[in-house]
Amino acid sequence: MHMTKFNLAPIWFEEKLASGSAAAAVQMDGFTTQITVNGFGRAAKAYIMYQKSGTSTIRGLNSSNPEKNSLSVIINSTELSKTSVSTLILAGSLQHAWLHREGYRHPTGKYTSYMAGESSMCLMRSNKDKSPSTHDNSYTKWLD
């Protein structure tokens, strides 16, 4: 599978995306679908599973159909209990997990220029522009 096709789109999306704005619209439509089908019981029951250690804070296993997949996530309770972790970091980590559940992919350890990474980092920055003085790994260490 060639991953560059999926930089901005989930694996189920077939059309070409002309801009970041169009990509954000697809992502929000898919996310809205996920919330709707989960809220009305048309998806499998969602679970929050816990692990005591690992490299991620909140992780979502890959899936590919927002109309059928649950919003289940795996929470690293050790990382979650750190008081130094802001709610924005946790929100971005949860969003990233749900993007994996929605059908977004990126190569292992590569987040920059992939929708699943960039949109989550943007949320973690409180929707502010990137700063040259803050490296992406300040955010990406909380993903996957």
Going from N- to C-terminal start, the domains of the chain cover: 45-144
pLDDT value for 56: 76
Q: Which amino acid is at 114?
A: Y
Whole-prediction pTM: 0.89
Distances (CA, A) of 92 to 21, 83, 98, 122: 19, 16, 10, 8
Mean pLDDT of the chain: 89
Contacts 24+ apart (CB under 8 A), 35-40: 35/71, 37/66, 37/67, 37/68, 38/70, 38/71
pLDDT value for 20: 86
Q: What is the DSSP letter of 41?
A: T
**For the chain, what percentages of helix, strand and coil (3-state, to nearest 5) are there?**
40, 5, 55
pLDDT value for 87: 92
Q: Which helix (H) or strand (E) holds 98?
A: helix 87-102
Extract the residue ranges of the chain whose pLDDT is less than 70: 1-6
Q: How far is it, in rounded angstroms, from Cα 101 to Cα 63?
A: 5
pLDDT value for 6: 57
